[in-house]
Amino acid sequence: MDKFEPRWQALLALLAVVGTSFALPRWLSLGPRWLLPTFVLLLLVPTMIAHRTGQHSLNHVLGIIISTIITLSLLSSIVLLVIALPGRKESPLRLLLSGAELWLTNILVFALWYWRLDGGGPLRRKERGGFGSQSFLFPQMQAEKSQREAFGIENWRPGFVDYLFVAFTTSSTFGPTDAPILRPWAKLFAMLQGVISLTIVALLISRAVGVL
């Protein structure tokens, strides 16, 4: 029997994004520290209820709203970093840790977007059935039929870890590697994710060599 795609991995990623916001320096947060967790919690509860009660359209909309909020929070931290970094006297270690936290947040935020939007979301992927992804060309999709049978992946569909890997490689190489992107929306998101990663790295390198 085909089972629903587990969602606990996406939930852990969302909670990690919220937790990372507490680890950032106060000057990289827009508003009080409790603001982002409060917004996410207020929306997460009805999102989970909507999923449990079968209100899948509401669940999908609330999930997009949550992803939008954490994305705006990430972008605001990047803007604050660009504005405030030249005048800051942070220790190199603290600055490096802040950059690593933003880089990790970038990965998690976009992994949630890819997981939420590919093929209409996890529920639509389950209802449609079939093989593979509509937005990414994963390595499993490039295997021949005989290879799929040999590895037992005839009915394979991507899960959250697959989207997390796409987000990680995009942040690491500023572009996809093992999973080429097929859909325009995913290409735009990948470009935005790459720009954010490149900005973080460029700012840290500039500060390290004394340009800022």
Where do the structural domains in the chain lie, given as residue ranges? 8-208
3-state secondary structure of 136: strand
pLDDT at 1: 37
Task: Specify the pTM.
Answer: 0.90
Spell out the residues 6+ positions from residue 140 whose beta carbon is closer than 8 angstroms to its own: 132, 148, 151, 153, 156
Q: Which residues pair with 57 in a beta bridge?
A: none
- The tokens for 84 are 């405030």
pLDDT at 189: 96
- The tokens for 24 are 């950032």
pLDDT at 2: 45
- The tokens for 33 are 């520290």
3-state secondary structure of 197: helix
CA pseudo-torsion sign 90, 93, 98, 103: positive
Torsion of CA 81, 85, 87, 93, to 10 degrees: 120
- The tokens for 34 are 């409790």
Gap between the terminal Cα atoms of the chain: 58
Please calculate the CA angle 98-20-117 and round it to the nearest 5 degrees.
115
Residues of the chain with pLDDT under 70: 1-5, 88-90, 210-212
Q: Which residues pair with 137 in a beta bridge?
A: none
The number of residues making up the chain comes to 212
- The whole-angstrom separation of Cα 38 and Cα 136 is 33
pLDDT at 14: 95
**Which residue's entry shows tokens 């290879």?**
147
Amino acid 12 reads: L
Query: DSSP states of 62-108 as a string?
Result: HHHHHHHHHHHHHHHHHHHHHHHGGG----HHHHHHHHHHHHHHHHH
pLDDT at 212: 56
Beta carbons of 120 and 61 less than 8 angstroms apart:
no
